[in-house]
Structure 1
Amino acid sequence: MDDHGDSEPPADAAGRDAEPTLDDLAAVATRAVRAGGDYLRDAFRDGALDAEYERDDVKAVADRNAEERVRAVLRESFADHAFHGEESGRDGEHRYRWVVDPLDGTNNFAAGLPAFATAVCLLRDGDPVVSAIYEPLPDSLYVARRGEGATVDGERLLAGSDVPLERGTVSLVLGLSAVRDPELSALGDRIEAALEDRCKRVVETWSPCVDWGLLARGGIEGIVCLRPDIYEQYAGELLAAESGVRSRGSGDEGLYVGAGDDATLSELVEAVDSVR
């Protein structure tokens, strides 16, 4: 399927809405993240970076505006689906629920750092089945379908890296709950130190979706997420799984470790377990 294409929800012979296919859902997810991401790209280039800075978070006008654009696309195709946006919270009850991060990397965006993305993930009966991540500045579109693989700009993704871990890069993602809890924050520091003993570089980009894309395409060797925020984690975990990333744990459990191959995963798990 062309991830850039449009699709309308199917109807059965009697004209009633039929169960949407993964391709139908992926087409809508793609349009939604592009709507949010295209707005962010223009706002970033125009210098529209108004934001409120807190000690451990940033809220930008662009967050809300991007979410409105994402939601408008989702409503147009699936008005009855439930919606859960980082900015507006939960709305509606349905077996299908869209989880949305309109601007992943708000601090980067507001500071003028070109590392941010728009992400959506669709849960069916609580399980992620489709996700889309769009980085508007490099114009990179990631799409994953449960059981059908993942793509970047329409090309199949197969995770993995030829770089050994001792010369490689690992992303560390701390959710807001981990940052704000002294014990979890201290655990995050210990994990970071343990990872630094195993690899060349540990990065905290403050845009997990950018990191998920790098992992899925083999640009980095691994990722460790401690109490990650669901708005990026659902989309990222599905992208990783469908691109062949090996993993232990999940965001729902509070700790996720992923790598492009089993040997690297074992090393990362050993490092994390040594300080827990």
Structure 2
Amino acid sequence: METADVEELAAVAERAVRAGGEFLRDEFRDGTVDGEYGTDDVKAAADRAAEERVVSVIRESFPDHAIDAEEAGRSGSSRYEWVVDPLDGTNNFAAGLPMFASAVAVVEDNSPVVSAIYEPLPDTLYLARRGHGATVNGERIRPSESADRLSLEHGTVSFVLGLPAVRDADRRRQGREMVAALDGVCKRVLETWSPCVDWGLLATGRIEGLVAFYPDVYEQYAGSLLAAEAGVESVESESTYVAAGDRATLEALVETLPASVRPKLD
């Protein structure tokens, strides 16, 4: 079976997210958002148009690869699948809040090998290759020294509630309990509604941790690979993913969570 070159995958992933993100930047600055507003999500026309641009770049280079796009769904069958979130942070985009990104991950045999996240407004590109580290705007991301990190009580932790939890009453309740627990051990619990933005903050050490409850696959593949290649510590279960800049903070976050949603530490 043909094996794709990781550097070529990464180059196409970068072009793809830039194509989607640059379109979104122009649409955001235009100030007009056409979309359907639901109780828990927004379906924006810009989301679909950005996805078309992302997918077009991928198809041009890898016509035989499978694609799982958030708006259009899954197509094709291949050892390689491109998981596409053309607009992560649609609610922010629609509300005029400048926190959103375009993201893709290349999954090989159910494991991400490349991910790219692009925040178009600050013009920030995160790129990760499995086993080869992560970069931000071309500069290698290196794990910061523990002495440089804030203690958890003075730090910020992102909480991500995925749509599978948002749309289930019991899981929403559990999510509120998780936020309350985290709020008791850190300075601030951050809920941006743009997980990929949070992944970038975590990977570069600007926040101390991230907890995701039933995260959406469209962000999770891209974000978890970025975190892993940036040296972030993590643990996960079927429902919950917890990540932090160092092992001690990871353990503290896990122990803080209600036992019913707590992943098991090794």
TM-score of the superposed pair, with normalisation by structure 1: 0.91
Residue in structure 2 matching 1:255, options 240, 244, 259: 240
| Counterpart residue identity of residue 127, structure 1 | S
SS at match of 1:113: coil
Unaligned runs of 5+ in 1: 1-16
Whether 1:265 and 2:250 are equivalent positions in the alignment is: yes
Give, in angstroms, the shift of residue 48 of structure 1: 3.0
Q: Percent sequence identity over matched residues?
A: 64
The 3 A distance-change label for structure 1 pair 159 and 57 is farther
Aligned residues: 258
Counterpart position of 2:66:
82
Query: Quick one: distance in 2 between partners of 1:223 and 1:263?
Result: 14
Equivalent residue for 1:113, pick from 77, 87, 97: 97
Partner of 2:171: 184
Q: Distance in 2 between matches of 1:45 and 1:79?
A: 33
Shift of 1:158: 2.3
Change (3 A) 1:159 1:60: farther
Deviations 1:141-196 (A, max 9, x none): 00000000000001111244511110110000011110111111111011000000
- What residue is the counterpart of 2:207 in the other structure? 220
Partner residue of 2:113 out of 129, 138, 146? 129
Query: Residues 187-202 of structure 1: matches in 2 within 5 Å?
Result: 187-202=174-189
CA distance in 2, matches of 1:32, 1:204: 27
Equivalent positions of 1:39-188 (< 5 A) are 39-160=23-144, 162-188=149-175
- In structure 2, list runs of 5 or more residues that go unmatched: 262-266
Which one of the candidate residues 189, 193, 199 is aligned to 1:206?
A: 193
> Paired residue for 1:235?
222
Deviation at 1:275, TM superposition (A): 6.1
Moved >3 Å (runs of 4+): 273-276
Partners of 1:173 and 1:223 within 8 A in 2: yes
SS at match of 2:126: strand
Checking the alignment, whether the CA contact within 8 Å between 2:68 and 2:84 is kept in structure 1 is yes
State the SS of the aligned residue for 2:114: strand
In 2, the alpha carbon distance for the partners of 1:221 and 1:77 equals: 37
SS of 1:205's equivalent in the other structure is: coil
